[in-house]
A and B are shown apart, each in its own frame.
Chain A
Amino acid sequence: EPEVTQTPSHQVTQMGQEVILRCVPISNHLYFYWYRQILGQKVEFLVSFYNNEISEKSEIFDDQFSVERPDGSNFTLKIRSTKLEDSAMYFCASSFNYEQFFGPGTRLTVL
């Protein structure tokens, strides 16, 4: 069964550093998403991406965040200057229609 994959599974970084989280969505899916979940809290929408551009973004997705689909398979989330409060689980998801399928997540720890 096809699945969304994410790398790395765990990323530790120093405050102020840039990180890139990578995702490979399911191959025939058209819509791509990033979510985050702070430990013990609810899943929060960050951004959706369709047809090579951002279709929606939340208030969390400020100027320090960016997304790219550099080739036909990868979908990346870049955090330019990490803050302590960026520590969370970041999930990538993809969908063909309304049903979104999630990757296993990247745990980001900012020290």
Chain B
Amino acid sequence: RKEVEQDPGPFNVPEGATVAFNCTYSNSASQSFFWYRQDCRKEPKLLMSVYSSGNEDGRFTAQLNRASQYISLLIRDSKLSDSATYLCVVYMDSNYQLIWGAGTKLIIKP
């Protein structure tokens, strides 16, 4: 089983719709979780940190389910500018490493 798994997509979504991504992780000792977004040929940019059960930032909501070992990202009222690849990242306290998912590609269509 991969350490961090994501549906690669692409998710083709009309503007204004709500879209959700899931991510599963294999190491139950993982402590910290993040969502990054990456535009084509650009650097990953931190979108949200998920430290407890979840948090919300504007149109974005991240949730963490430790029992089932998955993290989700919900985007409401999607904009054209939300088109990007969304990367699920798990932080391993034991070796200070970020373990990256392969990303889910989102395409918002007008």
Contact = CB atoms under 8 A, between A and B. Distances in A.
Contacts of A42: 100-103
Given A42-B102, A98-B32, A48 B43 contact: no
A50 B97 CA distance: 12
Interface of B: 32, 34, 38, 41-46, 49, 87, 91, 95-103
Contacts of B46: 99-101
Contacts of A105: 42-43
Contacts of B45: 102
With a 10 A CB-CB cut-off, give which of A42, A55, A103, A105 has the most chain B CB atoms.
A42
Nearest to B103: A42
Nearest to B100: A43
Interface in A53-82: 55-56
A45 B89 CA distance: 12
B47 to A, nearest CB: 11
B102 A102 contact: no
Nearest to A101: B46
A63 B38 CA distance: 30
Nearest to B44: A102
A104 B49 contact: no
A34 to B, nearest CB: 12
B43 A103 contact: yes
Given A42-B101, A42-B102, A99-B34, A55 B41 contact: no
A91 B101 CA distance: 16
B42 A55 contact: no
